[in-house]
A and B are shown apart, each in its own frame.
Chain A
Amino acid sequence: MKRLIAITGLVVLVAAIVAALSVAAPTAKTGPEAKLPPKPRLPALPAEVRSRGKWQIGVKCDTPPFGWQDTSGRNRGYDVEVARQFARWAFGSATRVDFTCTTTASRIPTLESKRVDMIISTLTWTAQREQQIDYSVPYYGAVGRLLVRNSTTVGTLKTWMSGKKVASTSGSIYDRWIKNCFKDTTFQLISSPSAGVLALKNQQVDAFMYDDAFLVGVAANDPNTRLTVHRFLDVPWGIGIRKGETSMKAWVDAAIRGMKARDMFWPIMRRTVPRRFYPTFRKNVPSPKVTPRYPRANPPENNCPA
């Protein structure tokens, strides 16, 4: 008992010394990871946003862990947290943002019709979309996966896909990729990610193709489904901004870079996924060590497997 007290006391003492040192030397440069001020220098907010006093941001409401709503109607998820951080930095409070629910099929029209300032809604970069809208710098690196029933075995993607029924959401990168690269596959549209899961479980489709973060959670919760080993369309997500709105893009890019330098994305990810998935997603989020980049030289939707 006495030894226990002694050890505890020693640990507390060491912790106090470390804390004192880090507080006492806030600007101590310890190599390349300089201690940054809590808020980066951001360019001026676009005029309309500044006068409004809050953001209007389009997010997903049906895609955990990125955008969903709980029983009290609150928006939750990785994308939503990024939006709230923007609100803190722009207006000082995480509540200064109005969320609009968008689906994969409606997010770009919602942006273009000026209903929202930007869309943070699991928006993968594609060359085709970039003709229509502007992208911020990447804020998440996703990979496509295939969800199947336990009884299905899948060899190589190209051979297996032929003649099968695969589901995904309307307007997604998977929509275009399957129609471009897998002409023998019956592409089944579903209205929401959870409808895709149900379609798979009810044997209406052979596989459900979607983003890794979402599918990993589904496979974990449902012992009758599993992910295949295939990883494809390794393309980051960006925040969608209307073409030509340079002040908006400048602000958003600066904010993302600021969050990346301060390693703020990882704590957000940790808050939105269960602990056992931490290793899976550590490399997906931007951080001082990880910089997702858009594959501009090689647009993903034309990247058909050999």
Chain B
Amino acid sequence: MFHSPVEILAAFDTGFIWDYRHELWEGFKNTMKVAAIGVALAFVIGLLMGAARAHRIPVISQIGRAYVEVIRNTPILVQMFFLYYGLAQLGYRVEAFTVAWLSIAIWGGAFNTENFRAGFEAVPARFREAGYALGFSPLQTFLNVTLPIGGRIALPSSINTYISVLKNTSLLLVISYPELTSVAYNIQANTFKTIEMFTVLALAYLAIVWTLSALIRLLEARLALPERA
């Protein structure tokens, strides 16, 4: 059929994209919806569990360790299947949307736990001691010293995790949640314009990820610690 990459490009017909702009926009919104919830929950889980692990709080620390190791050493796709079909088996009426944000939040939370734990543990001991010297309780020390500093140390790796969470929403295709990749796949199933659709999809993700990365790194530049001792 095609004899060179140039011919492939020349034969591109992207007119159908305009016809399906409504579906694609819905898909994009769904991607952002799930990603936003996933990132927010990953932040909360990472913060709390990371703090628990950094401070070696008994029981929670061990549970946290198990949670982190299991999620980080198994594929997210399998976790999605496990949740989607498993919850249904247990009798819960779960929508694809619920499993969608739940699965990526659980995944993101595990990675973020390690990010925050490393951040908190990297706060030099003397800062904490200074906190105690000022009369702070352990909790107050955490809130006023460890968290602000450790959180900022963890910022680069956290941001990487959040962006991965966004990219992983593409996998929700397998549980038929209508996010962007899912919508694109279904459009090509009905229009047979396969390679055009996936090219546009790849470019769309690049646009989304690059824009968000740039914005976040601007934020990071403002939040970053001054040159650490």
Contacts and interface: CB of A to CB of B under 8 A. Distances in A.
Q: Do chains A and B touch in the complex (CB under 8 A)?
A: yes
Interface of A: 104-106, 108-109, 112-114, 132, 170-171, 175-176, 188-191, 195, 198, 202-204
A195 B88 contact: no
B88 A109 contact: no
Interface string B157-201: 000000000000000011110100010011011101010000000
B93 interface: yes
Given A105-B188, A112-B194, A191-B175, 12 more contacts: A105-B186, A105-B189, A106-B189, A108-B189, A109-B188, A132-B192, A170-B190, A175-B190, A176-B190, A189-B182, A189-B186, A202-B94
Contacts, number: 48
A170 B173 CA distance: 12
B93 A190 contact: no
A170 B186 contact: yes
Contacts of A189: 176, 178, 182, 186
A202 B174 contact: no
Given A105-B189, A114-B1, A202-B93, A190 B194 contact: no
Contacts of A171: 186, 189-190
Contacts of A203: 93
Q: For the complex of A and B, list the 6 residue pairs with the smallest distance between their C-beta atoms, beginning with the closest.
A: A171-B189, A105-B189, A202-B88, A109-B194, A170-B186, A170-B189
A203 B188 CA distance: 28
B185 A170 contact: yes
B160 to A, nearest CB: 29
A188 B185 CA distance: 14
A113 to B, nearest CB: 8
Nearest to A203: B93
A190 B1 CA distance: 32
Interface of B: 1, 85, 88, 93-96, 173-176, 178, 182, 185-186, 188-190, 192, 194
A107 to B, nearest CB: 9
A189 B174 CA distance: 11
B12 to A, nearest CB: 15
Nearest to B189: A171
B124 to A, nearest CB: 51
10 contacts: A109-B188, A109-B192, A114-B1, A132-B192, A171-B186, A171-B189, A171-B190, A191-B176, A195-B176, A202-B88
- Most chain-A Cβ atoms within 10 A of its Cβ — which of B95, B174, B189, B190? B189
A108 B190 CA distance: 10
Nearest to B194: A109
Contacts of A114: 1
A109 B188 CA distance: 9
Contacts of B94: 202, 204
Nearest to A167: B176
Contacts of A202: 88, 93-94
Contact of A105 (B95, B175, B185): B185
A104 B175 CA distance: 16
A105 B186 CA distance: 7
A191 B174 CA distance: 7
A175 B191 CA distance: 12
Nearest to B92: A202
Nearest to B96: A204
Contacts of B186: 105, 170-171, 175, 189
Contacts of B88: 198, 202
Nearest to A108: B192
